[in-house]
């Protein structure tokens, strides 16, 4: 398969799955691990997320204007402080994880198990507390918990960064839409920082093997695709729950486990 087509396909996969609670990293790794697409480096798989997160800014324009143009207002400063706190927690934890030498898994099984476990949690949480969530604003406790929750996706690819943080927010009583908004906006600095860190580290170590043109192509495609995916999700969640995503994860996880056993 031509490199440009691989980059486009991976960009589409990243854009669709980055903010849907089904794990973008898991969906990026699976076709590579199963040999359907050429394997890419960790730098590539992490850096193309940068394009997807930029799409968030264009889907939450009211909140972005509040945080940038009216940041002196108490409400805006409070929200920024909570975003910053969650980001610092994730950043510090991410550095620790990186220092321990963690790398993305080369096997399908860990991703499949994480997809399955996350799917079960989504179905259970939505059935038990989803419609009873009453909080319309992010509390300090939620922001701190979400910061730690992002680390789950870093340690368990397939769990989903947005999935883990949305689950935590729902369990702590936050409604779906504000949970999505906080999670997605937090992803902007988190994923941009992670991508920049990985690229700079690789450059410093002289281990960069990327085709920068292909990386740029995949990043651009992921940005456009993510914009459409986020806009769709925001409309979908107004009248639906996350249960369908839970069942999708369960079905995919079980399918992969059966595939591994059979082959």
The set of residues, in sequence order, having a beta carbon less than 8 Å from that of 251 and lying 6+ positions away, is 119
Query: ∠ at Cα 14 (11, 20), nearest 5°?
Result: 145
pLDDT (0 to 100) of residue 134:
87
Contact 132, 169 (CB under 8 A): no
Average pLDDT over residues 212-227: 91
Q: What share of the chain is helix, strand, coil (3-state, %, to 5)?
A: 75, 0, 25
The set of residues, in sequence order, having a beta carbon less than 8 Å from that of 239 and lying 6+ positions away, is none
Average pLDDT over residues 225-231: 94
10-14, 53-57, 216-220, 241-245: the lowest-pLDDT one: 53-57
Contact 184, 60 (CB under 8 A): yes
Residue 1 clears pLDDT 80, i.e. is over it: no
Residue 123 clears pLDDT 70, i.e. is over it: yes
User: What is the spatial distance between Cα 258 and Cα 63, in angstroms, rounded to a whole number?
Assistant: 44
Q: Which DSSP helix (H) or strand (E) runs through 206?
A: none
Residue 209 clears pLDDT 80, i.e. is over it: no
More confident residue, 98 or 174: 174
């Amino acid at each position: 398969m031509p490199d440009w087509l691989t980059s486009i396909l991976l960009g589409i996969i990243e854009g669709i799955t980055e903010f849907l609670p089904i794990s973008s990293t898991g969906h990026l790794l699976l076709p590579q691990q199963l040999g359907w697409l050429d394997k890419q480096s960790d730098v590539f798989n992490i850096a193309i997320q940068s394009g997807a997160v930029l799409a968030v800014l264009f889907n939450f324009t009211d909140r972005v204007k509040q945080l940038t143009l009216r940041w002196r207002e108490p409400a805006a400063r409070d929200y920024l402080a909570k975003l910053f706190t969650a980001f610092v927690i994730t950043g510090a934890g991410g550095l620790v994880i990186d220092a321990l030498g963690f790398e993305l898994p080369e096997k399908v099984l860990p991703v499949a198990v994480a997809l399955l476990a996350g799917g079960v949690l989504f179905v259970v949480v939505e059935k038990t507390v989803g419609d009873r969530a009453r909080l319309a604003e992010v509390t300090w406790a939620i922001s701190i918990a979400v910061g730690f929750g992002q680390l789950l996706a870093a340690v368990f690819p397939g769990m989903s960064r947005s999935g883990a943080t949305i689950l935590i927010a729902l369990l702590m009583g936050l409604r779906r839409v504000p949970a999505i908004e906080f999670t997605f906006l937090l992803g902007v600095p988190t994923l941009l920082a992670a991508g920049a860190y990985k690229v700079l580290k690789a450059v410093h170590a002289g281990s960069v093997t990327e085709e920068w043109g292909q990386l740029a192509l995949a990043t651009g495609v992921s940005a456009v695709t993510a914009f459409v995916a986020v806009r769709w999700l925001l409309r979908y969640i107004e009248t639906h729950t996350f249960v369908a995503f839970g069942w999708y994860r369960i079905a995919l996880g079980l399918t992969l486990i059966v595939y591994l056993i059979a082959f």
